Structure 1
Amino acid sequence: MSDCEIDVGCSPQSDADSTEFKPKVRRSRLSTKTLNDKELQQLRLKVNSRERKRMHDLNSALDGLREVMPYAHGPSVRKLSKIATLLLAKNYILMLQNSLAEMKKLVSDVSTQRMNFPPLPQVPTRFRTNHGFCACADCLTPKLPLPLLPSSSLMSPSSSSSSISPSSSTANI
């Protein structure tokens, strides 16, 4: 029962976090005639346990795939079947490949167009703002400090008496 062969193929390790592969172990078949009922039952339990773990791992992987797929989850969407999940994932990957190819083409076109134009002149530092460069009349004129006004003069009495509250705006509805 301990006889095993090493196959040249590889299978992923059972650890879900590991991406390493280990050699696949092929177990040789034992003749069921040489096993008594108790040994046969133990063998059947081991085989069932391995299959149950394999299916659990497969379902966990598909659940993880469903979580990252658009349109695959939500309150109004039923859980996708295994085949529907795989087909949606395949189509999504193809769409992303097309988008990436299109974006690469656009970047290439933009960089080609930039090479055809002369370089932009450097803007002096006095025209630079926090949001980029500005050459408007306000930015070019020297700034004088504004006089400080008391906070009470910022709001006129007429505007403070007609303030709008959520309750007053919904009362008219």
Structure 2
Amino acid sequence: MRDDELVYDIAQTPIGPLLLVASTRGVRRIEFPRNGRVVMPDVGLCRDEARLADAVAQLHAYFAGERLDFDFARDAVGTPFQHDVWNALREIPLGETVSYGELARRLGRPNASRAVGAANGANPLPIVVPCHRVIGSNGNLTGFGGGLPTKRWLLDHERRYAPRPAFALVP
């Protein structure tokens, strides 16, 4: 495989089939289905189940509630600011949400909530880089590439499996 050649595979999930696209360095994109179907955006991609087996297995384990994070190789393409936002997204704990404004403050750019929103929307690795954990300042769910029902499903799923703090019984 050439260094610039991209391959794909499809992961069947409870939220529909996800298209995974990878370079030799790692998974570059995860695409949500549209109208329940995979949309193949790139002409000439070859399917390579072996190259994407680990990523697909980790996604299956996540949806089964057996895995809470991901460690497969990634090759997300973006600007330095986008990467800063995507790294900040990975710091949001499982089952929790933050607003775009709060994420901008965490990045030290309190007036950049719109830019944070744009970078969040450009996230090429949804679920793995949990852009679904960002909500509006009023607490409402806002735009999501997979649709708001999928965003709600993912948040509910994570809340179901998120680690719970241990409570000590006081005599």
TM class by smaller structure: under 0.3
Decide which structure has the larger Cα Rg and report it: 1
Higher helix share: 1
The structure with higher relative contact order (CA 8 Å, sep 6+) is: 2
The two structures have a TM-score, normalised by structure 2, of 0.18
The two structures have a TM-score, normalised by structure 1, of 0.18
